[in-house]
Structure 1
Amino acid sequence: IAQLFDVPPLPYEEVKIATAERGGQVNALAIDTEAAFLEYLDMFYNLGLAGRAMRRIGAVEFATTIAPGLRDVLLTGKIKEIVTRNEKEAKGDKTGKGTAYDAVVVDSPPTGRIARFLDVTKAVSDLAKGGPVHSQAEGVVKLLHSDLTTIHLVTLLEALPI
Structure 2
Amino acid sequence: MNNIEISQPDELALSFTRTLIEARNPRWINADLTIISLEVLFAELSHLGFLPFSCDANFDTDYGVDIFNRAVAGEFGEIAAFIPLPPAPYTMSVSNMWDRMTDDEGDDFDAAMSVATPLKSRKAFNAAVTLQSDSDLFAWVRNVLLTVTTAERTDIIMGQ
TM-score, length basis structure 2: 0.20
Question: Normalized per residue, which structure has more helix?
Answer: 1
Question: Normalized per residue, which structure has more strand?
Answer: 2
TM-score, length basis structure 1: 0.20
